[in-house]
Amino acid sequence: MLEKALTGSRRYWVWIFFLLAVIGTGFICYLRQFDYGLGITGMSRDVSWGFYISQFTFLVGVAASAVMLVIPYYLHDYKTFGKVVILGEFLAVSAVTMCILFIFVDLGQPMRVLNVILYPTPNSILFWDMIVLNGYLFLNIVIGWTTLGADRKGVPPPGWVKPLIYLSIPWAISIHTVTAFLYAGLPGRHFWLTAVMAARFLASAFASGPALLIILCLIVRKVSKFDPGKEAVQALGKIVTYAMFANVFLLGLEFFTAFYSQIPGHMHPFEYLYVGLEGHGKLVPLMWISSIFAVVALIMLVNPNMRKKESALAFACVTVFISLWIDKGFGLVVGGFVPNPFEGVTEYWPTLPEALITLGVWAIGFLILSILYKVAVTVREETSSWPSLH
Amino acid sequence: MSINRREFLKLAGFSTVMGLTGSSVVDELLKTKAEASQVLVDEKALSAKRWAMVIDTSKFKTEEDYKSVIQACHSIHNVPDIGNPKDEVKWIWTDTYEHTFPGQENEYIPEGIKHKPFLLLCNHCYNPPCVRVCPTKATFKRKDGIVMMDQHRCIGCRFCMAACPFGARSFNWRDPRPFIKETNPEYPTRTKGVVEKCTFCFERLARGLKPACVEKSNGGLIFGDLSDPKSEVRKVLSAHYTIRRKPEIGTQPSVYYIIGTGGNENA
């Protein structure tokens, strides 16, 4: 089926070569980082994780969100999602690949990455994260490819894929829970030491992932003859709405615990992020943009008349995605390191090479996504005249 | 007997698998491989069940007292002086009372303590979170309580830095070697991309010497076996009231502090 990605319109190839150029730029910067060391980034002794690990954390959520399509379609036989479920699975493949790459570019000694397998250490959450991420990647590639291949031949998917699909449901939950545990189990990092971390991660994942998927569905409909369906987009819109409310609610719980208890260690990271601490507040404007976008998105999403207009829904989804990207793809990781263990404030801001490497990894993700979507869309265009088999 | 191609391949595959897994099982059963710690033990080596340190802050009076201790450690361990806080590598250093014991400060503590530098180093916790999170066992706790680093196994993920509640760990953000003023050939330098920290001078203990900082401290740093009631650290701990950093976190630091200004309380 992969050959379908090798033929396309001029617009398709311009897009592919644009991505390749971004990847190339990122790769050159990575070679520089590989030579010089991670000092090329904005990270420091005090803020020892930055953009790379934040992107990884955010994208685990995007990957996990495929389950929001798999559950209704396969467990509740919600046929409306029949056409989009493959888009969700392929989005998961692309997102998990980015996650793995972001961990890789964050390593100080990337040539030793196999030490994680050579010296397996079950007490380390990172060990489990490696297992669940790779497992999830494998599951989604196999499930997505097999079901699409069956579709193409006009036959139902083979029986053996069903157990894998069921397995992928708890597995999706596990990738984001384990990722939350990377943070939530560390003593002395007040911002992360919270039992609702995994729940908050899942809520934000189920908002940001489907929001991105809605945008992708609308793009796919525009650039191809394949229509994922108005009803499917609307159903996804409802999922985004509920999940975004849950996410804002959980964030509110964090604020309550910190500011009603008034324990300084719990308040300081929130103060740093939203009003600044000891005269430092590089992230304050971003965090407020995130908050305002969240409110705007919720007002638009909760109003059914607005949500039903696809242009308004698309706008709301873009604001949800940006809001959550700032919150989780930036603020969450940095906030955990400020203040430092000595109650001092060291700020973090990514450097240009760091930003270009980050963009390069995103471009690899989008390249994988574009190729997989091209295959899926072409297969669907060819079979769209056939009656549904599911 | 002739075998066909298919059988040959089956046999070859089986032999390979046995060769790969079988030999290590035999090794394990016969214990043919020595453990690193079993190699060449010096008769004079100092040993303990749990090494610990008491910092008698009253004994540190002048800038020089701190400097000589820090200098002793950093020079023999080839700790680079990069000269900017972003890339900084440090094993032992000083900070204020407020930063050393966050949450235990109050407005009215004596001026002599408020502005006094306090020595900071790895706490060699009894229950170390850095060891718990390391995905490769590159950081591990020895039988004598020392929290060690294997700089050849570290992949540079910096999970241990996020996990350490004491900011004891430094990462080599760049090649440290150009920033070492005078390289000590008896101790390895590090490469870029690995984490490092104080190791309680495991290499000196193995040769019967106390840690370098202790040696240079004029009695300000007391070092010994916490599990031995007759050790010097235990005597000091039973005679003085001591505190540890962030005890509420439950890591059980092995570094204790006697808080005193050194007779300058009324100054």
pLDDT exceeds cutoff 80 at A165: yes
pLDDT of residue B88: 95
Of chain A residues 201-260, which have a CB less than 8 A from chain B?
none
Dump pLDDT digits (tens) for B53-109. 999 999 999 999 999 999 999 999 999 999 999 999 999 999 999 999 998 888 899
Per-residue pLDDT tens over the stretch A286-315: 999 999 999 999 999 999 999 999 999 999
User: Mean pLDDT throughout B144-161?
Assistant: 96
List, in sequence order, every residue forming a beta bridge with A23; answer none if it has no partner.
none
Q: Please answer yes or no on whether B138 and A115 come within 8 Å at the CB atom.
A: yes
Give the tens place of pLDDT for each residue, A221-247: 998 888 888 999 999 999 999 999 999
Nearest beta carbon to residue B192 from set A37, A123, A341: A37
Matching residue, tokens 């545990």: A181
Q: What is the DSSP string of A287-334?
A: HHHHHHHHHHHHHHHHSHHHHHSHHHHHHHHHHHHHHHHHIIIIIHHH
Tell me the residue type at B228.
D
Res B12 pLDDT > 70: no
Rounded to whole angstroms, how far apart are CA atoms B149 and B140?
7
* Minimal CA separation from B215 to chain A, in Å: 27
- pLDDT at site B266: 41
Is residue A37 pLDDT above 70, yes or no? yes
> Which amino acid is it at B209?
L
Q: Classify residue A71 by its DSSP letter.
A: I
Whether residue B175 and residue A103 make contact (CB cut-off 8 A), yes or no, is no
Q: What is residue B256's DSSP assignment?
A: E
Query: Would you call B135 and A109 a contact, using CB atoms and an 8 Å cutoff?
Result: no
Q: For residue B5, what pLDDT band results from cuts at 50, 70 and 90?
A: confident
Residue A258 predicted with pLDDT over 80: yes
Q: What percent of chain A has pLDDT over 90?
A: 86
Mean pLDDT (chain B, rounded): 88
**3-class DSSP assignment, residue B88:** coil
Give yes or no for A112 touching B (CB within 8 A): yes
Q: Each residue of A345-360: pLDDT tens digit?
A: 999 999 999 999 999 9
**Contact status, residue B96 vs residue B104, Cβ threshold 8 Å:** no
Distance between CA atoms of residues A111 and A129, nearest Å: 19
Residue A248 has pLDDT above 70, yes or no: yes
| pLDDT of amino acid B21 | 52
Q: CB count, 10 Å around CB of B202?
A: 15
Cβ density class A215-226: b for 16+ within 10 Å, e for less: bbbbebbebbeb
* Closest CA–CA distance from residue B15 to any residue of chain A (Å): 22
In whole angstroms, what is the distance from residue B37 CA to residue A329 CA? 44
pLDDT in tens, A64-74: 988 999 999 99
Residue A390 confidence class, pLDDT cut points 50, 70, 90: very low
Rounded distance between C-alpha atoms, residue B242 and residue B259, angstroms: 7
- Side chain identity at residue B171, one-letter code: F
Higher pLDDT, A181 or A6: A181
**Helices and strands counted in chain A (H then E):** 15, 0
Distance from CA of A99 to the nearest CA of B (A): 14
> Looking at the partner chain, which of A43, A107, A188 has a beta carbon nearest the beta carbon of B155?
A107
Query: Among all residues of chain B, which has the CA nearest to that of A349?
Result: B86
Residue A12 contacts B where some CB pair is shorter than 8 Å: no
- B90 to chain A: closest CA residue: A45
In A, which residues are within 8 Å of B102 by CB distance? 265, 341-343
CB of A89 closer than 8 Å to CB of A140 = yes
Q: Which amino acid is at A182?
A: L
What is each CA distance from A304 to A1, A18, A312, in whole angstroms?
40, 38, 11
Give the full edge-to-edge strand order of the sheet including B221-225: B221-225, B51-56, B255-258
pLDDT at residue number A227: 87
Q: Is the peptide bond before A304 cis (omega within 30 degrees of 0)?
A: no
Q: Which two tokens stand for residue A74?
A: 């396969």
Q: How many CB pairs under 8 A join A and B?
A: 142
Sequence-ordered list of residues with C-beta below 8 angstroms from that of B28, at least 6 positions apart, any chain: none
Indicate the DSSP class of residue B121: E
Contacts of A46 in chain B (CB under 8 A): 167
d(CA A233, CA A239): 10
DSSP-based three-state secondary structure for B140: strand
Nearest by CB to B155, from A113, A186, A188: name it.
A113
**Chain B residues with CB inside 8 Å of A336's CB?**
162
Distance between CA atoms of B38 and B59, rounded to whole angstroms?
Answer: 38
CA A363 – CA A140 distance, rounded (Å): 20
Chain B: give the shortest CA distance to residue A277, in Å: 16
Q: Which CATH number fits domain A2-383: 1.10.8.60, 3.90.550.10, 1.10.1060.10, 1.20.1630.10?
A: 1.20.1630.10
Name the residue ranges covered by the structural domains of chain A. 2-383
pLDDT for the residue numbered B11: 67
Partner B, chain A 262-281, Cβ-Cβ below 8 Å: 264-265
CATH class of B51-258: alpha beta
Inter-axis angle of helices A197-223 and A161-184, nearest 10: 130
Question: pLDDT value at position A9?
Answer: 87
In terms of CA atoms, which chain B residue is nearest residue A184? B163
Q: What is the pLDDT of residue B190?
A: 96
The domain segmentation of chain B, as residue ranges, is 5-33, 51-258
Position of tokens 């240009």?
A352
Here the tokens at position A172 are 């999706």
In angstroms, the CA A25 to CA A323 distance is 27
Distance, CA of A67 to chain centre: 13
Question: What percent of chain B has a predicted confidence (pLDDT) above 90?
Answer: 75
Residue B51, helix vs strand vs coil: strand
Of B135, B191, B192, the CB nearest to A116: B135
pLDDT reported for residue B261: 78
Determine the Cα–Cα distance for residues A31 and A146; give it in Å rounded to an integer: 36
What is the pLDDT at residue B267? 38
* Rounded CA separation A161/A141 (Å): 11
> Is residue B53 a contact partner of residue B233, using CB atoms and an 8 Å limit?
yes
Whether A22 shows a pLDDT value over 90: the answer reads yes
B18: pLDDT confidence band, cut at 50, 70 and 90? low
Residues B119-128: tens digit of each pLDDT: 999 999 999 9
Say which DSSP state A79 is in. Answer: G
- Using an 8 Å CB-CB cutoff, list chain B residues near A43: 173
Neighbour-count burial of A12, counting CB atoms closer than 10 A to its CB (0-12 exposed, 13-18 middle, 19+ buried): middle
**B265 confidence band (pLDDT: 50, 70, 90):** very low
Give the whole-angstrom CA distance, residue B134 versus residue B148: 12
Q: Does the beta-carbon distance from A340 to B167 stay under 8 Å?
A: yes
Residue A346 DSSP label: -
Percent of chain B clearing pLDDT 70 (strictly above): 85
Residue B167: closest C-alpha in chain A:
A341
What is the ipTM for the molecules in this complex? Answer: 0.91
Taking Cα atoms as reference points, which of B253, B257, B101 lies closest to residue A342?
B101
A389 compared with A33, residue with greater pLDDT: A33
User: How many Å lie between the alpha carbon of A335 and the closest alpha carbon of chain B?
Assistant: 12
- The whole-chain average pLDDT of chain A stands at 93
| Distance (Å, whole) CA A13 – CA A226 | 19
Beta bridge partners of A105: none
A151 pLDDT more than 60 = yes
Each residue of B19-63: pLDDT tens digit? 555 554 455 455 544 455 556 778 889 999 999 999 999 999 999
A39 touches chain B (CB under 8 A): yes
Residue B104 has what DSSP assignment? S
B138: which 2 tokens? 């590159």
Residue A386's pLDDT band, with cuts at 50, 70 and 90, is: low
Burial of B121 (0-12, 13-18, 19+ CB in 10 A): buried
